[in-house]
Amino acid sequence: MVKTASSPSSSPVTITVSSGGKGGGIRSMGLTSPVPRASVSNNPNSPLSSRGNRRASCGGGKYSSMSKDETTTEEVNTEFVSYTVHIPPTPDHQPMSASQTSLSGDGNNARKSERSFISGTLFTGGYNSVTRGHVIECSMDGTEPVKSGLICGMKGCDEKAIRGTKSRGICECGFKICQDCYLDCIGSGGGRCPGCKETYKDISDDDEEDDGDDEPGSEAEDQALPLPSDFKLDKRLSVVKSFKAQNHQPPEFDHSRWLFETKGTYGYGNAVWPKDGYGVGSGANGFEHPPDFGERSRRPLTRKVAISAAILSPYRLLILIRLVALGFFLTWRIRHPNHEAMWLWGMSTVCELWFGFSWLLDQLPKLCPVNRVTDLSVLKERFESPNLRNPKGRSDLPGIDVFVSTADPEKEPPLVTANTILSILAVEYPVEKLACYLSDDGGSLLTFEALAETASYARIWVPFCRKHGIEPRNPEAYFGQKRDPLKNKVRLDFVRERRRVKREYDEFKVRINSLPESIRRRSDAYNAHEELRAKKKQMEMGGNTSDPVKVPKAIWMSDSTHWPGTWASAETDHSKGDHAGIIQAMLAPPNVEPVYGAEADGENLIDTTEVDIRLPMLVYVSREKRPGYDHNKKAGAMNALVRTSAIMSNGPFILNLDCDHYIYNSLALREGMCFMLDRGGDRICYVQFPQRFEGIDPNDRYANHNTVFFDVSMRALDGLQGPMYVGTGCIFRRTALYGFSPPRATEHHGWFGRRKLKLLLRRPKVAKKEDEVALPINEDHNDDDDAEIESLLLPKRFGNSTSLAASIPVAEYQGRLLQDLQGKGYHGRPAGSLAVPREPLDAATVAEAISVISCFYEDKTEWGKRVGWIYGSVTEDVVTGYRMHNRGWRSVYCVTKRDAFRGTAPINLTDRLHQVLRWATGSVEIFFSRNNALFASPRLKFLQRVAYFNVGMYPFTSLFLIVYCFLPAVSLFSGQFIVQSLSVTFLVFLLAITLTLCMLALLEIKWSGITLHDWWRNEQFWLIGGTSAHPAAVLQGLLKVIAGVDISFTLTSKSATPEDGDDEFAELYVVRWSFLMVPPITIMMVNMIAIAVGVAKTMYSPFPQWSKLVGGVFFSFWVLCHLYPFAKGLMGRRGKVPTIVFVWSGLLSIIISLLWVYISPPASTQDYMKFQIP
């Protein structure tokens, strides 16, 4: 839309750019196709920006277009961006007459209706873009008469305008205003100019300036300023000088001469950009560089913070020194055998060789640790600020679907799950972009009704969190904090509302805890009623009343219907492995516009008049299970959620959490999205957060915090191709879970992957490998045959759901980067394309979602093989992440300043050992499968390949570790040692290896932030696990590979929140017998007996060998120090140990001792050792 105003000397052209309005403004049809379109600069200083200095206020503001001699003021009730281009008359451009520019007149009345649509519509279109018309309802039919340049420009005022300085108005924009209106603007208008909405720069008391001075400015003021003699022009800039057109020009002024002889300009453009003073003495040589209109789009969302070279360089040097020392030591050990005890020397040497190899596998991936930080302000500015495509400032962030999995309400208390759900619903992320799915793999009515209670309490808890900025947003964790809850709280109603919410939460806990009894009583009552009806029917049929009536013991819902899930009686179609699929939307998708609450009254506990009370969508899902189908445990449940969410919400990103891992930092999702949406983020398959745990004893007896892994190993992997997926606290890209390849990948060839080959995988002409699945790009399907082949392959990969297949390109499009972040030739989405309402949820959609969670849906598809979570291992998380890295994706490790998530860990020794056993068994399965890193593709970096190979290799170290732990005892029993004698060379090598290990530990502590206590606890539990759970894992893995014996594990019990007065660490002292305890107990007892025997033998020997005793005792003491936490755990709270522990350990110790006496009897017997019968 172009509007012109008459002028005797110039023709200012006002250009209005619409960007989608509301109400009576610009009507837009919304996004019609996912195609890139040209975007306008988002820089706030740009004339094209809706946030610039000259803009129309939303809803109905004023816009004033100033020319040299007159002012145009117009009411525009719309949302648009306006700017004015001053075009001075030149020989090629002559001013238009008033008759030509007038849009209203007596002769035009008959043509108004014909031109109303065309003149009131801004059409947009272009290459690969749908042509659209944005209808602007405010037409130009009622334009106001143009005021004279000497009259006040305020509406309804015809007073004489006051004069400013330099032949302009009192404001730099030139807006004419009388003295009375000027005083009103200073007093009640905030001191802002009605024309440009900027503050008057020089507010002085000199307003009584002569109003009658109508003479034009001096000719010297009208003359163009010459360029400085030493002025050097930037290569990107034109040779003309920026100069703002003045308000009063003499009519005889020659614009052609002024333009071409003095290097003038047409106004603001790509010429030298002036700041204050319009080029007169501002900046170097009087000029400034142009403003950076793309600054906001180029500011990074994340930064990689390298480890200080003062720490990292010595760390790498020490690794090299220790590697050389190990090489020399092992060489010396091989070349200097102990001829007196070759078997002892041989076993020790083989074990030491393996330990050196294992240490190298563990240490090499730690060469390149990095840290990363995010900038949430840039994320908000880029995706949630008003711009041309999103004038209302709606969130342009992509959607996130949050998955929470649970399987057994007895081992995973519903209250723990409910608190996790509440922390998700209250997270700081756009409500309409968030959806939460709870997978109940047990199909329990208890979990179902607990979720319904959670949805009810969320209507109180979530607004309370938003209003007062509560952290953490888990009510159990928040109300259980020991710090002052009033810290940093400034609202006067906080104490009152906190007390009310706390009282409501206590009632909520009582309702949750009483649900099992409530369900049992309700079901008993309905079942008794059913039995009476059955007996009555039997009597009516004439049957024998003494015959028992068979009525199934059903579980009843509160609406008097059978629960379709599992029953306590485990009837047909109602057992844990045999029940129907269930989907229930507890909370419907919210509206796109904020909804504010009401004042506190009898129904509303808190005042929510200024708080958005919308809640994210919450869905209960229990997949169908039938006998004869392999449901693949947690991996199968997660894949069912992937398909369900694709149909119901289709968020392009997925966050998965365990039921006991809640969101501790409400901004965690935003921090994770910074990596996904930053430049290069389209290659990131997932963002892994560290696991942090609560409820662990202060001494961390069994290394439950696992800080060495999460803060050392994972940070180091982040400097390679990315951290491993650890099962929870991870944001996935949905298309990466679908098995697609990244848009770009790098193949590593040659020795150690030094030769790199970069690949672009989303070009239609790129030749693909047989197992390559590149995501189709909508714009690139120029070949109909290729598109048809892709569509035919979709059912084989993803199943026969058309809705699921149709959701894949939509999820890919919504997960793209913005167009201004993509490089040349890459695909992006336009800014503002996701600021549209989500489609409503209807019954047909839910019915389609039910079909994709059926037990047979995955038959003859690639779910679990290439698509989704990968099946075939109890550690499906590691395998799933490995497959993504193997296709060329990258991952990122996001360590937030405030912990992102927190969960619980088993502090009981038995539970901890069984947890480690499950992990180690999964690693053995990986080693004997095609997921072994030895068979990885060239897209996996060399050091990343080493890290994944170590994942499958580390359990086998336990076989050598057990042998090595027995060697000190054997040495003490036999009087021999692993070396011929404790020579100086051996001691020097031993000292060098030990010192370098300690120094490496100190440097790891320095760059990772862990403590020495954490490092030592990790070393202790490495030996405890290596002598208990890891050997059992190797045995189970071999049985599965060789004999096909399946491995079954039980869920790790999640500890419920202790009640007031209960011991928080009561589980720590509970001793439960397990066969995993036998090896470490035996090692401890044998070594203690060996120390006593060795000391006694040396003391009573006629030729004592103290050096061998010292060597044997030192290594036995080393073993016992590492096993100390294990021994302390066996003591329990009061020193009570199960009798079976002593029986087994004593028997094994006696057997080993007798076996040793039989193998190596004493060389000679003394008389005091002979027993004679008198």
The rounded distance, in Å, linking the Cα atoms of 686 and 724 is 10
Give alpha helix (H) positions in 613-652. Answer: 633-648
Determine the Cα–Cα distance for residues 999 and 1006; give it in Å rounded to an integer: 11
Please give the biggest Cα pair distance in the chain: 149
β-partners of residue 759 are: 745
- Catalytic option among 69, 578, 660, 877: 877
Helix (H, G, I), strand (E, B) or coil at 757: strand
**47, 201, 214, 216, 671 from 163: Cα distances, Å:** 27, 15, 8, 11, 54
DSSP string, 451-518: HHHHHHHHHHHHHHHHHHT-SS--HHHHHT--S-TTTT---TTHHHHHHHHHHHHHHHHHHHHTHHHH
Among 250, 248, 227, residue whose Cα is nearest residue 238: 227
Residue 759 three-state SS? strand
Rounded CA gap, 774 and 803, in Å? 20
Contact call for residues 739 and 794 (beta carbons, < 8 A): no
d(CA 316, CA 319): 5
Give the integer Cα–Cα distance in Å for 677 and 484.
Answer: 37
- Respond yes or no: is residue 141 known to be catalytic: no
**ω into residue 589 within 30 of 0, thus cis?**
no
Characterize the bridge pairing of strands 662-663 and 578-579: unpaired
What are the residues whose beta carbons fall under 8 Å from the beta carbon of 142, sequence distance 6 or more? 104
220, 224, 122, 209: which is closest to 162 by C-alpha? 209
The number of angstroms, rounded, from the C-alpha of 132 to the middle of its chain's C-alpha atoms is: 36
Query: 635: closest CA among 423, 437, 878, 425?
Result: 878
Contacts 24+ apart (CB under 8 A), 280-286: 280/225, 285/228, 285/230, 285/231, 285/232, 286/228, 286/231
Exactly one of 69, 440, 441, 1014 is catalytic; name it. Answer: 441
User: Which residue is listed with tokens 């012109």?
Assistant: 4
Distance CA 858, CA 856 (A): 6
Token code pair at residue 184:
């009103």
Q: Are 483 and 471 in contact (CB under 8 A)?
A: no
Alpha-carbon span 445 to 564, nearest angstrom: 9
Cβ pair 725, 688 in contact under 8 A: yes
Nearest to 1050 by CA among 917, 923, 867, 946: 917
Structure tokens at 1137: 């140990």
Asked if residues 634 and 392 have their Cβ atoms less than 8 Å apart, the reply is no
How many Å apart are CA 411 and CA 648, to the nearest integer?
30
For the sheet with 26-27, list strands across it.
26-27, 129-136, 121-126
Residue 660 falls in the annotated catalytic set: no
Give 522: exposed, middle or buried? Use CB within 10 Å, 0-12, 13-18, 19+. Answer: middle
Q: What does DSSP say about strands 890-893 and 755-760: parallel, antiparallel, or unpaired?
A: unpaired
Calpha distance 816→270 (Å, rounded) = 31
CB atoms inside a 10 Å sphere around CB 699 = 12
How crowded is residue 275: how many other Cβ atoms within 10 Å of its Cβ?
14
Give catalytic residues, as residue numbers: 441, 877
